[in-house]
Chains A and B, each alone.
Chain A
Amino acid sequence: MAAMGALLKFGALLLAAVAACVAWEDGDVWDYDGHKLKDSDFLALWPLPQKVQSSAVSFQLSASRFQFTHAEGSSAGSDCSILQNAFRRYFDYIFGFTKKDRDQRRRNAAGSEVLELQVAITSPDAECDGFPSLTSDESYELSVDQPSAVLKAPKVWGALRGLETFSQLVYEDAYGARNINKTGVSDFPRFAHRGVLLDSSRHYLPLKVILANLEAMAMNKYNVFHWHISDDQSFPYVSRMFPDLSQKGSYHPYTHVYTPADVKMVIEFARMRGIRVIAEFDTPGHTQSWGFGQKDLLTPCYTGSSPSGTYGPVNPILNTTYDFMAGFFKEISTVFPDAYVHLGGDEVDFSCWKSNPDIQKFMDQQGFGKDYSKLESFYIQRLLDIVSSTDKGYMVWQEVFDNGVKLKSDALIHVWIWYQGGGYKAELARVTAAGYTALVSAPWYLNIMSYGQDWQTYYKEDIQDFNGTDAQKKLVIGGEACLWGEYVDASNLTPRLWPRASAVAERLWSDQGVRDISDAYVRLVQHRCRMVERGIPAEPLFTGYCRHEYSGV
């Protein structure tokens, strides 16, 4: 171990060397033993693993000889499609466009080459055919040495994270050859739920864009794709039971929809990368587009004593509403395998309900008085019962909790309001004090833009830094970066999301003590160039360049 240098705990010390991408920065960087690092010592790991031991001893990797193998005794083998696909993907990332090395004789001194990465899944059930879940074990241990590197993980999910790390350890030397340093990594996520929300209702997002961003999510060790699939503006989800919803409620019934095959493809593509797909069908507000294909679902608004011809939120007083919801969510529970479904529940506008005489009568009958949040609770309550009967857990936006709706103990409260109620941290204190599990998006609305390096503000947030007991803090299980779609579609989504969402990714994965902005800058600059090289148009952090610029113009 002596040769491997000091243990770098939590990576608080500088791991990265001079950034090739920051020409203006004269950044001589020193390693943990006080030695100046060479250009070849690049280590731009992102997000930073929990523990890394690194040394200056380097090995080569040959495109014609290097192999991924299943270690002896691994519970996963060549029939594990998740790993087989990952091997191909990471081989491509590592060796890029390098041509096959025809000259087999060109070799370094014996023993300076990593010939294989042995992947060992250590628990009896590798979960090769399963879906990732909130409780999936994503930990892994990686040891890079010659002639074999070894990646050990209890489940395939950890192996996927480890493969990403392994690929990030590989660098090009001055001759373009692939190198990797002798390294040990022991890693696990700080938070179990690390998500990205995309909104496919305000603008339709072509499948290709969703898949490319799942790819980028995997590069950043994200594990949840929160699919805000429908909203006021359009209903692109093609329902088998209620085809009229998209037929009449999408921007276009054929070109701007997600067919069952599309949805399946997204889920499988995500599964291959250890990413859960949580669908959100937001009700009772945010549902204008539902009304086109489902008669009587929305509340008719009134002007004076006659219907005005416009519609409000879902009509909570009709039995037909609940029959529809029962049928609809039964379908959803079979289409989306994840144990959670997001039910929305945010921003309900009461003015239409107030105008409707039938609703008023119902309010009187129920003894709700003039308190329309009670009516909202009444609706949500019944909806939650319906969803519970499909054996799904649910996530809801924080208003549902704020309005005092009775929730199951495993309900996930999604905290998003930053501008009132004492800020999101006060809300976190309230939610966790009530014993609920919470998820945070408030500081990470990436659709809001400002000039300069706003990634730094995302990076500095600590979502466990609120007034509460340790037990309360444990109830915060993660967060999501949200990219709402009012001003975003395929034309600008990817550069707006990356690398800004990468900042959030590290906050959610790495240790709480990883907070050094200048170290993060150097690593993130390289990480963004790596994403660009892998075909993701991630925008620059600041002046500088990448060796391989984005070529997809």
Chain B
Amino acid sequence: MSSRCNLRFLIPGLALLLGGVPSVLAVWPQPQQIRNSAERYSLSARAFLFKHADVSAVRSGCDVLDQAFTRYFTLIFPESGGGAHNRYFWTEADPFTVEVNVAEGPCDGYPAEGSIENYKLTVSPGQAVLTSVTVWGALRGLESLSQLVEQDDYGAYYINKTEIEDFPRFQFRGLLLDTSRHYLPLQAILKTLDAMAYSKLNVFHWHIVDDPSFPYQSRKYPDLSKKGAYHPFTHIYTQTDVRRVIEHARLRGIRVLAEFDSPGHTQSWGNGQPSLLTPCYRGDVPSGTYGPVNPILDSTYVFMANLLKEVTSVFPDSYIHLGGDEVDFSCWKSNPDIKAFMKKMGFGSDFTKLESFYMQNIVNISTMLNRSSVVWQDVFDYHEINRPRYVVEVWKWGCYLCEVRRVTKAGLKVILASPWYLDLPGPTHDWARYYNVRPLAFKGTEEQKKLVIGGEVCMWGEYVDATNLSPRLWPRACAAAERLWSDEVQTSSVDQAFPRLTDFRCRLLRRGIQAEPLYVGHCKNEYQGI
């Protein structure tokens, strides 16, 4: 009664599944170059050591690496908790050393645009050597190393002789969470960052505010969250919370890209900031409802400049996301003052010009604050003249590569999100849809293709909160992660990816990430919550 309609999704790997999942020697996402050999070395939690190479520019005391060593030790030996007190060892284990050699400091900085994530990893008898340019590359290498470690039938840990040379295909590999449609408790965000690191995603796009609620607690404008959040104390992000997210992300080589979307999507801002939003009119009288940000008042720009100044002091990343999508013009159209302004500016009745006027001012503010602006594609689509420099995030469906082509032709950078809207639930087997994306399959010059800096998985929050976020994200986001990191030719087969991803999903479960199944089967360690 259940499965007939699903049988067509049966995948060649089924025979394997029925017999239990064999461990696949694999790293997710697939490294650019990897050579495994059947030769394997036992690992013992009691004789396993991370150390800095003598020539490394980074030594102990580097918190990014120190913490990563602690983290990856536990990930590599999940059952070793408390093992230090176990004295019933009769054999002396062979020591294994992971030597980490980072060419350049520092390690107290933030991952940034252009951070080099390349690394080389060589596993040989008794040791692994990990070489990278930056600590961020070392983090990626440690993740790969941890995925190479397997347990045999007796539960003993081992690693195969391996050589990896790896680097990301795209430098921007993002994941968007929406904390406005539903508030996400801090724990849910931190856990998502953990899982992002496991998939080598490196940008957390925090769509922190929107129409329904304003959970960001501003120092300068505390009323925004006090009156605009779902609840002024329980459903907000304090400055401490935000710092914690940024630090948690930094330690995993993840940038935090904050989005303060305007002039649309701002209903919740109006509660705490009177006269920020445009009063809508019915005939000659205000209707009592409000529209987008009011673009004709100086006070608006003073407010936005102050707010963005604060935001740039809180969020260290060189990018800031300014939104600019889906502006509904009907309220602007109804307002007599706006109409007068349109006339004065010679905009006629073209409200996209008014939107462009607003966005240009906001982008200028961000430029003065020394930030690169990211905007949704709507802003690019409105006008061809006087386009300031910004990064365009392409999100609309249809021929999204056509849009990518247009944007790059205009010489602007692109982040691609259209094919990766994971909030559309669909059955799990649609992971292949996210995998079969070819971001550069458009006609264009080499220069144009270089302008595609990466892509992003979006998890919009209308139907998502802490109860269902994780299983809806993982492992589907992993499919996009491989597309953004790995070589496209090497990873073009869904059939080959299936057993690797099945295996990786079990690894995520083992690490406490609530990742849903791809198809029938089981994991050695099932999810232990409800």
A interface vs B, CB < 8 Å? Answer: 23-24, 199, 202-204, 206, 208-209, 212-213, 228, 233-234, 251-252, 255-256, 288, 346-347, 397, 414, 416-417, 419, 441, 445, 447-452, 482, 484-492, 494-496, 532, 535-545, 547, 549-553
- Give the number of A-B contacts (CB < 8 Å): 175
Q: How far is the CA of A484 from the CA of B517 in the complex (A)?
A: 13
Across chains A and B, which 8 residue pairs bring their CB atoms closest together, nearest first? A492-B471, A484-B2, A495-B468, A537-B467, A251-B522, A545-B230, A492-B516, A539-B468
Q: Choose the segment among B24-32, B179-187, B301-309, B480-488 that binds chain A (4+ C-beta atoms closer than 8 Å).
A: B179-187
A545 to chain B, nearest CB (A): 4
Interface pair A491/B527, CB less than 8 Å apart: yes
B509 at the interface (CB under 8 A from A): yes
Beta-carbon contacts under 8 Å, B1-15 to A: 1-6
- A487-B427, A544-B182, A547-B234 known; A251+B20 contact, CB < 8 A: yes
The answer on a CB contact under 8 Å between A544 and B18 is: no
* 0/1 string, B498-530, CB within 8 A of A gives 1: 000000000001000011111111101011111
From known contacts A251-B20, A347-B4, A492-B514, infer whether A553 and B470 are also in contact, taking CB-CB under 8 Å: yes
Q: Which of A417, A495, A553 has the most CB of B within 10 A?
A: A553
A490 and B529 form a contact (CB under 8 A): yes
CB <8 Å contact, B466 and A549: yes
A485 touching B520, Cβ below 8 Å:
yes
Closest to B192 in A: A553
Q: Cβ of B429: which chain A residues have Cβ within 8 Å of it?
A: 487
Given A451-B425, A487-B428: A552 and B529 interface contact (C-beta under 8 Å): yes
- Partner among B188, B427, B469, B521 whose Cβ is within 8 Å of the Cβ of A203: B521
Contacting pair B465 A486 (CB below 8 A): no
Verify A545–B213 contact, CB threshold 8 A: yes
Closest Cβ neighbor of A485 among chain B residues: B520
Q: CB of B464 within 8 A of chain A?
A: yes
Q: Is B520 in contact with A486, judged by CB distance below 8 angstroms?
A: yes
Min CB distance B20 to A, Å, is 7
Contact A252 B524 (CB under 8 A): yes
Is the beta-carbon distance between A553 and B463 smaller than 8 angstroms?
no
Looking at A255, A491, A551, the one whose CB has the most chain B CB atoms below 10 A away is A491
Q: Within the complex, what minimum Cβ distance (angstroms) separates A491 from chain B?
A: 4
Chain B contacts for A491, CB-based, 8 A: 470-471, 509, 514-517, 527
B426, CB-defined interface residue at 8 Å: yes
Question: Quick one: given A449-B427, A487-B516, A491-B515, are A397 and B183 in contact (CB under 8 Å)?
Answer: no
B residues neighboring A (CB under 8 Å): 1-6, 17-18, 20, 181-183, 185, 187-188, 191, 211-213, 230-231, 234-235, 424-429, 461-472, 509, 514-522, 524, 526-530
List chain B residues, Cβ under 8 A from A532: 467
User: Nearest chain A CB to B277's CB is how many angstroms away?
Assistant: 15
Smallest CB separation, B10 vs chain A (Å):
10
B182 and A486 contacting across the interface, CB-CB below 8 Å? no
Name 29 interchain pairs, CB-CB below 8 A, sorted by A. Answer: A199-B2, A204-B522, A213-B530, A233-B18, A251-B522, A252-B20, A255-B524, A397-B1, A414-B1, A441-B1, A447-B427, A485-B520, A486-B519, A487-B516, A489-B517, A489-B526, A490-B528, A491-B509, A536-B530, A539-B467, A542-B463, A543-B181, A544-B212, A549-B185, A549-B234, A550-B465, A551-B466, A553-B191, A553-B469
In chain A, what residue has the closest Cβ to B185? A549
Which of B234, B461, B472 is close to A543, meaning CB atoms less than 8 Å apart? B461
- Measured CB to CB, the closest approach of chain A to B108, in angstroms, equals 29
Say whether A346 contacts B1, CB under 8 Å.
Answer: yes
Chain A contact residues: helix, strand, loop or mixed:
loop
Q: How far is the CA of A487 from the CA of B5 in the complex (A)?
A: 13
A23 touches B212 (CB 8 A): yes
Complex: chain A residue closest to B178, CB-CB:
A543
Give the residue of A234, A486, A492, A544 whose beta carbon is less than 8 angstroms from that of B522: A234
Of B3, B183, B467, which one neighbours A495 at CB under 8 angstroms?
Answer: B467
A484-B3, A491-B527, A550-B465 known; 15 new pairs, CB 8 Å cut-off, are A202-B520, A449-B425, A484-B1, A485-B520, A486-B519, A487-B518, A489-B526, A491-B470, A495-B467, A540-B182, A541-B463, A543-B181, A544-B212, A549-B183, A552-B466
The reply to whether A204 and B526 form a contact with Cβ atoms under 8 Å apart is: yes
A233 to B185, CA, bound (A): 37
Interchain CA distance A233-B521 in the complex, whole Å:
7
Contacts A208-B530, A288-B18, A449-B427; A252 near B522 (Cβ below 8 A): yes
Q: Is the CB of A539 within 8 A of B517?
A: no
Q: How far is the CA of A203 from the CA of B185 in the complex (A)?
A: 29
A337 to chain B, nearest CB (A): 25
A542 to B211, CA, bound (A): 14
Which of chain A's residues have a CB closer than 8 A to the CB of B515?
Answer: 491
Residues in A with CB closer than 8 Å to B526 are 204, 206, 255-256, 489-490
On whether A452 and B463 interact (CB within 8 A), knowing A206-B526, A206-B528, the answer reads yes
